[in-house]
Amino acid sequence: MTRKILSILILCLVLFSSACASPGVKEPEKPSEPTVPATPTSTPMSDTQPTSVPETQAPSNETEVVTPTQTEPAVTQNENTVHPIEEEHVVIDNEKEDGYIDNIIVVIVRHDVEDEEILSWFPGEDARIVGRFPRLYQRQVRIKPRNRQELEALANELMAKDQVLYAHLNLAGSTVGASSLARQSIEKAPGNESEDTWQDVPSQQKPENEWWYEVIKLKEAQASMPKEFVKVAVVDDGFDTTHPDLNLAYISKEQEDMSAPQEHGTHVAGIVQQIMPGAQITVLDSYRYPGKVEMGQYATQCHHLKFLVDLVDADMKVINYSMGSDIPLDANIAWDVESSSIFSVYIWLLKQLGKDFILVQSAGNSGLDVYRNGYFSTLNTENCLGSEVVHKSLGVSDRLELAQKEVFDSIVLVGAFEEKTRDGKYPLIRSSNYGEGVTIVAPGYEIRSTVPGGYDVMGGTSQSAPIVAGGLGFLWSLDKTLTSDQLKQILIKTSTEVAYDLVEGRPADKRQTYPIFNLLEAVKLVLKDG
């Protein structure tokens, strides 16, 4: 069977080392208990569907170029907005494919801080607010250009203010190159041996009594069908919303208008749908911006943060990301370390607003430690919630371990295994990423699901992740009082079998076993405890 990693054009979020850390900045003491930028209790978070991000246009191959093709959007008080990319202010290291926006600083302030006060912190700079995430009290401020070190120092200076909870650079990154990011499917349909094309005519064979149904005991678990499903989302590359077996809805009308059906996204969404039949699955096409068929050559951290915040604002409980990076070189991983560190702060702050959710990410298909897959997988205790400056500003220095746990409770990393060997063992797929960061594994070999116009078989961690995401949505629907922490523990506690890492040549200390997701046993525990 042909196997390969499909290259994509999606956010290659750029990272540098140590978010918001710069020596020599005086750090005044702040209260140990943070004033969380929460919406007043009398005003719940709005469920208004947000607008999509502004487009980017591919620049030339020279450093520091991005050409915008639309004017700056109106910055409203109620919608999440992202500033447009300006050609002359994108600084990219082409060798590392990472960079930053040199005239944007991002701040998250306490709830009573007005825009005028924020702008007063930048005298003589003609500062203006060009984007915001209202319910997080986040502002993207356009200032005079600075180099990276100066922006880092400015972020630290801002976090010394009692009014500021967090400040960071708006990182930028290249979206080109097969080695930087990939959809995490590795197999095409059997019999389709072409390296570059999908089947012209998809199969009409529907999923029925698939091998993986028996592994996770899907049919038995569905005997306890929830009366109403929680909201589950899939972030991917485009979806066939007309497919008769799918009940999909885009996060916004703008997203729906600009998106186009794709095999990968439709396949991933169809796996979730098999586990949650009839449920409406919210989808977000992270590959396209308004006015573009595909997104441009560069994107910013705020673009990807907006996707996350939009979905959490809309009360998504489980969000599937079948995507990631391929970072074999130590010299390149600093990008993802910083980006994931910024993500962790936003995850923590969203949870302080009372938003509980789980982000399910595919472990990756590069045969590497999962830590090298980017996005949320690059988080560990060293970079979660940033530097000591960030800890002090958030007020978590004296309870850092607990605060970090709140972040990790909302992240599930899924590896993939295939059918049993002759000796009765489930082997990890050879290309599946591995390591201590993997939360659980699920079937990822010859998974039949929906594609535009029919059905197809794919494999990889792109397919194992939505099996777990759909399962989490099913479980949370049975008992909506459960927390992300409890659900993550249920996944592991109810596993009755393990998958074995049988890859030859891998160091013995890396060849561990992984708990296999068992939906039926998890359902039994939820119903028993409920």
DSSP state of 432: S
**What is the distance of C-alpha 395 from the center of its chain?**
25
| 118-160 residue pLDDT tens | 999 999 999 999 999 999 999 999 999 999 999 999 999 999 9
Mean pLDDT of all residues in 266-294: 84
| 218-227 residue pLDDT tens | 999 999 999 9
Q: How confident is the model at residue 56 (pLDDT cuts 50, 70, 90)?
A: very low
pLDDT for residue 39 is more than 60: no
d(CA 341, CA 328) in angstroms, rounded, equals 19
pLDDT for residue 7 is more than 80: no
pLDDT for residue 66 is more than 60: no
pLDDT for residue 184 is more than 80: no
pLDDT for residue 180 is more than 60: no
pLDDT for residue 27 is more than 50: no
Tell me the sheet residues that pair with 107. Answer: 139, 167
| pLDDT for residue 296 | 54
pLDDT for residue 198 is more than 60: no
CA 186 vs CA 3, 234, 246, 406: distances in Å: 5, 19, 23, 32
Mean pLDDT of all residues in 98-103: 91
Residue 423 · residue 56 · CB < 8 Å: no
pLDDT for residue 192 is more than 50: no
pLDDT for residue 196 is more than 60: no
| pLDDT for residue 326 | 84
Mean pLDDT, rounded, of the chain = 82
| pLDDT for residue 186 | 61
Tokens found for residue 265? 């996204």
Does the CA dihedral 14-313-283-322 come out positive or negative? positive
| pLDDT for residue 175 | 57
Higher pLDDT, 298 or 318: 318
Architecture of domain 214-529: 3-Layer(aba) Sandwich (3.40)
Closest CA to 41 of 480, 353, 314, 346: 353
281 CB neighbour count, 10 Å cutoff: 26
pLDDT for residue 51 is more than 60: no
Residue 421 · residue 322 · CB < 8 Å: no
CB within 8 Å of 71: residues ≥ 6 apart: 84
Q: Decide: helix, strand or coil at residue 169.
A: strand
Q: How confident is the model at residue 107 (pLDDT cuts 50, 70, 90)?
A: very high
Please give the span between the terminal C-alpha atoms of the chain, in angstroms, as a whole number: 44
Q: How confident is the model at residue 509 (pLDDT cuts 50, 70, 90)?
A: confident
Q: How confident is the model at residue 77 (pLDDT cuts 50, 70, 90)?
A: low
Q: How confident is the model at residue 183 (pLDDT cuts 50, 70, 90)?
A: low
| pLDDT for residue 228 | 97
d(CA 111, CA 494) in angstroms, rounded, equals 42
pLDDT for residue 319 is more than 70: yes
- Please provide the size of the chain in residues: 530
State the span(s) of the chain assigned CATH 3.40.50.200: 214-529
Residue 416 · residue 464 · CB < 8 Å: yes
| 290-304 residue pLDDT tens | 434 344 566 789 999
CB within 8 Å of 258: residues ≥ 6 apart: 52, 285, 288, 289, 290, 291, 292
pLDDT for residue 96 is more than 90: no
| pLDDT for residue 298 | 66
